[in-house]
């Protein structure tokens, strides 16, 4: 019997486990899925219970299975036959779908394969003493010996923004993790709220606030005050467009890439097409384009282009977008472009000072609660996480130079501190951004999960040879 441990049961861990369990194997395989939160198959994105938190990808492109594109759509239609492939359904339903996927794989595995679920936190992973063994230590001291380990630990709470006096961050008026159950409670209790960030997480937070009560004052601050664009309204998806032939010969500089994408979007807009088609088409080629860039060019992208890329690429579903815009128009939500320079707790609330963009002018705000909506932290060296600290300290993983995630080889093996691929430890999840840039959403992660599962079975000589899988991102 072979054993593969998967640390983390969000989308990535669940999709990998389901694939492993359902593939034919030449000897029994035990998959041990370990998750520190109680609910398996939800993760950060799909654990929300709020019905107004919608998927930001149409249902027709949210299958967890790379080889079965309509799998999620069929699940939706089994509950509501009216759901179309262009519909934006709730993330809560997606969580139910993932739970069903795991349940089905567990109850109908291939031949002799089995799943063990463990609720607990892995705080250390050691390799050896032999070349084929790894041992996991859980908080509480239990140990599990396995043949392979998949790190699927996903998203980490946002980084604290830099302010003059960091003491505020231990205040109960501050919510660092916008996806924690605590955030929802604090939102419900607060009349005056400051959101740090104006992206999709801020949209989610605003919708929760709107639901709780209407007499709120909400401020949302980001350096540029940029807001996410919206998807086209639900409806039939346009035919897919292939721009790889046009993008690949372009010189590997950010300036050339931006110029080419803008020109393509302009030409297509003039023909009456939707600019979003261009971004969707680029998505398939993005990993190849990213891999070609030098470190300096990648850094240039992060410094100058990333904020604009994010708002165009990661769009809000039409309905939440409209409600978000209504909040701005009604004055319930005030967007501020600037930099938060200080946050201080006083008897009458939190005093926030913001330096307005492009000026020396300071704006003073008074709020009850500050919620960090700046997006998941990918800077592994800065994380306060027992497992990550141990893995870095023991040289078992290598954070990338641009702090986007984790260094991996082609087969998802993590690189050690000296850049050598592990034969026991693998990674799948949004930290693949370091290697591929476009790797954080379901249409990409489902392909990575499938590839990884197939690679693992073949590396242990118990599965079929991995087959190439077509990435579907339309």
Ligand X SMILES: Cc1cc2nc3c(=O)[nH]c(=O)nc-3n(C[C@H](O)[C@H](O)[C@H](O)COP(=O)(O)OP(=O)(O)OC[C@H]3O[C@@H](n4cnc5c(N)ncnc54)[C@H](O)[C@@H]3O)c2cc1C
* Near ligand X by CB under 6 A: residue from 3, 23, 25, 35: 35
Q: Is 132 in contact with 147 (CB distance < 8 Å)?
A: yes
List 30, 155, 298, 433, residue binding ligand X (CB under 6 A): 155
Q: Which residue in the set 127, 369, 440, 474 belongs to the binding site for ligand X (CB under 6 A)? A: 440
The one segment of 6-14, 340-348, 406-414, 415-423 that binds ligand X by CB under 6 A: 6-14
Binders in 415-434 for ligand X, by CB under 6 A? 429-430
* Residue 27 or 322 having the CB closest to ligand X: 322
Q: How far apart are CA 100 and CA 267, in angstroms?
A: 44
Give the interface segment with ligand X, choosing from 126-134, 227-235, 291-299, 435-443 (CB under 6 A). 435-443
Residue 272 CB, shortest distance to ligand X, in Å, is 28
We find the least distance from the C-beta atom of residue 215 to ligand X, in angstroms, to be 27
41 binds ligand X (CB under 6 A): no
Q: Which of residues 349 and 405 has its CB atom nearest to ligand X in the complex?
A: 405
Q: Given the complex with ligand X, which of 25 and 280 has the nearer CB atom? A: 280
Which x/- pattern, by CB under 6 A, does the window 285-324 give for ligand X? ----------------------------------------
Q: Is 4 in the site for ligand X (CB under 6 A)?
A: no
Number of residues that bind ligand X (CB under 6 A): 31
Nearer to ligand X, 29 or 202 (CB): 202
Q: Is 121 near ligand X (CB under 6 A)?
A: yes
Return d(Cα 409, Cα 415) in angstroms, integer.
Answer: 7
Q: Which is nearer to ligand X, 7 or 333 (CB)?
A: 7
Q: According to the binding rule CB under 6 A, does residue 221 interact with ligand X?
A: no
184 near ligand X, judged by CB under 6 A: no
- Look at the block and give the residue holding tokens 């606030």: 209
Phi, psi of 21 (to 5 degrees): -70, -30
Site for ligand X in 380-399 (CB under 6 A): 387
User: Residue 413's beta-bridge partner residues?
Assistant: 426
Q: Which stretch binds ligand X (CB under 6 A): 148-156, 235-243, 272-280, 347-355?
A: 148-156
Closer to ligand X by Cβ: residue 38 or 358:
38
Which residues would be at the binding site for ligand X (CB under 6 A)? 7-13, 34-37, 43-45, 55-57, 121-122, 152-155, 179, 387, 429-430, 440-442, 445
């Amino acid at each position: 019997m072979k054993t593969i441990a998967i640390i983390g049961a969000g989308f990535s861990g669940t999709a990998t486990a389901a694939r492993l369990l359902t593939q034919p194997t030449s000897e029994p395989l035990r998959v041990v899925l370990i998750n520190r939160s109680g609910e398996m198959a939800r993760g950060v994105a799909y654990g929300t219970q709020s019905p107004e938190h919608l998927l930001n990808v149409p249902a027709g492109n949210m299958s967890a299975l790379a080889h079965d594109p309509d799998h999620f759509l069929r699940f939706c239609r089994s509950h509501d036959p009216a759901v179309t492939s262009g519909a934006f359904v709730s993330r809560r339903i997606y969580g139910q779908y993932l739970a069903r996927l795991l349940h089905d794989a567990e109850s109908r595995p291939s031949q002799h394969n089995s799943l063990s679920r463990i609720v607990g936190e892995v705080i250390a992973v050691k390799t050896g003493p032999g070349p084929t063994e790894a041992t996991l230590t859980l908080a509480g001291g239990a140990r599990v010996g396995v043949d392979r380990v998949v790190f699927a630990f996903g998203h980490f709470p946002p980084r604290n923004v830099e302010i003059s006096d960091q003491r505020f961050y231990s205040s109960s008026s501050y919510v660092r993790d916008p996806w924690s159950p605590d955030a929802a409670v604090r939102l419900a209790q607060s009349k005056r709220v400051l959101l740090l960030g104006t992206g999709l997480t801020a949209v989610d937070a605003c919708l929760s606030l709107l639901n709780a009560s209407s007499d709120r004052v909400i401020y949302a601050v980001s350096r540029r005050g940029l807001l996410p664009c919206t998807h086209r309204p639900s409806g039939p998806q346009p035919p897919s467009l292939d721009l790889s032939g046009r993008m690949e010969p372009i010189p590997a500089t950010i300036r050339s890439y931006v110029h080419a994408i803008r020109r393509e979007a302009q030409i297509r807009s003039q023909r009456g097409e939707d600019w979003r088609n261009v971004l969707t088409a680029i998505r398939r080629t993005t990993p190849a384009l990213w891999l070609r860039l030098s470190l300096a060019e990648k850094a240039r992208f992060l410094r100058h282009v990333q904020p604009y890329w994010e708002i165009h690429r990661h769009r809000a579903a039409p309905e939440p977008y409209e409600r978000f815009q209504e909040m701005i128009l009604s004055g319930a939500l005030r967007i501020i472009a600037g930099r938060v320079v200080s946050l201080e707790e006083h008897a009458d609330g939190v005093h926030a000072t913001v330096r307005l963009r492009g000026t020396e002018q300071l704006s003073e705000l008074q709020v009850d609660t500050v919620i960090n909506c700046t997006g998941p932290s990918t800077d592994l060296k800065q994380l306060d996480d027992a497992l990550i600290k141990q893995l870095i300290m023991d040289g078992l993983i290598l954070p990338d130079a641009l702090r986007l995630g984790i260094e991996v080889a082609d087969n998802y093996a993590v690189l050690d501190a000296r850049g050598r691929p592990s034969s026991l430890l693998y990674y799948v999840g949004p930290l693949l951004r370091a290697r591929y840039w476009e790797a954080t959403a379901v249409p990409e992660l489902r392909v990575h999960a499938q590839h990884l599962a197939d690679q693992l079975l073949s590396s242990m000589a118990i599965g079929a040879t991995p087959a190439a899988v077509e990435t579907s991102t339309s």
